[in-house]
A = this chain, B = another copy of it.
Amino acid sequence: MAEKSSVKLHGMWASPFAMRANLALKLKGIEYEYIEEDLKNKSELLLQYNPVHKKVPVLVHNGLPVVESSIILEYIDETWTDPPHLLPKDPYERAKVCFWAAYLVFPAKGETQQSMLNELLQKLDVAEEGMKDIFPNGAPSYSQDVKPGYLDIVFYSLFGTHEVASEFFGVEFLTPEKYPLLVSWIEALKQVPEVQEVTPPKEKIMGFYQYYRQKFVPPKA
């Protein structure tokens, strides 16, 4: 009796939040229609589905909207209960994963580029240490049977393309010398086919940074 369900995702290619939803759907092997939003001219549907925040991503499942990337990931995992599971079943393991994901996501609040960088480095210091508890045997290696989960998705969406950011901003921040576990985690994730599918090409990211800088940082006289 299982009818084929309708799954649509409203996203925007450069949004790390939308990347999380895209990656989760691909990892779970769920067929879906992807709708790219123009954030300067949002679709009527996006505004209707997410009237409070008016943001991507929005997952629309059989006509019902789910918003906020962390909530979308939980919804996906609870609705399509076949493996791979994005979150551990054990409540304590699950709590640890949710703690670290929330920790990574919380935005840097610095008022200057330097203070934001300092805050980011402090965060990476804590994460490098904390991940030793999550990965006691070192960075995970993925396979058909061991897929990335919730924490991997959040981490990759934030730091997966750190090398492009480093090149553009001229600041090396995620070095293998200082953060061996985090960097080898990223390297392992880069090998995963679904991760490769959702990663934009370097030139496209560089172009986005360029656009962003021109728009938000007034040129010096």
Binding site for B on A (CB under 8 A): 52, 61, 64, 66-68, 71-72, 74-75, 78-79, 91-92, 94-95, 98-99, 102-103, 126, 130
Contact of A126 with B52 in the complex, beta carbons under 8 Å: yes
A52: chain B residues at CB < 8 Å are 103, 126, 130
Complex Cα gap A102–B106 (Å): 13
Contact of B68 with A91 in the complex, beta carbons under 8 Å: no
A103: chain B residues at CB < 8 Å are 52
Complex Cα gap A95–B79 (Å): 11
Contact of A75 with B92 in the complex, beta carbons under 8 Å: yes
A68: chain B residues at CB < 8 Å are 98-99, 102
Interchain residue pairs with CB less than 8 A apart (28): A52-B103, A52-B126, A52-B130, A61-B92, A64-B92, A66-B92, A66-B95, A67-B99, A68-B98, A68-B99, A68-B102, A71-B95, A71-B98, A71-B99, A71-B102, A72-B95, A74-B91, A74-B94, A74-B95, A74-B98, A75-B91, A75-B92, A75-B94, A75-B95, A78-B91, A78-B94, A79-B91, A79-B92
Complex Cα gap A130–B67 (Å): 14
CB distance from A32 to the nearest CB of B (A): 16
CB distance from A117 to the nearest CB of B (A): 20
A74: chain B residues at CB < 8 Å are 91, 94-95, 98
Complex Cα gap A130–B51 (Å): 10
14 more A-B residue pairs beyond the given contacts A52-B126, A64-B92, A74-B91, with a C-beta to C-beta distance below 8 A: A52-B130, A61-B92, A66-B92, A66-B95, A67-B99, A68-B98, A68-B99, A68-B102, A71-B95, A71-B98, A71-B102, A74-B95, A74-B98, A75-B95
Complex Cα gap A92–B61 (Å): 9
Complex Cα gap A79–B92 (Å): 9
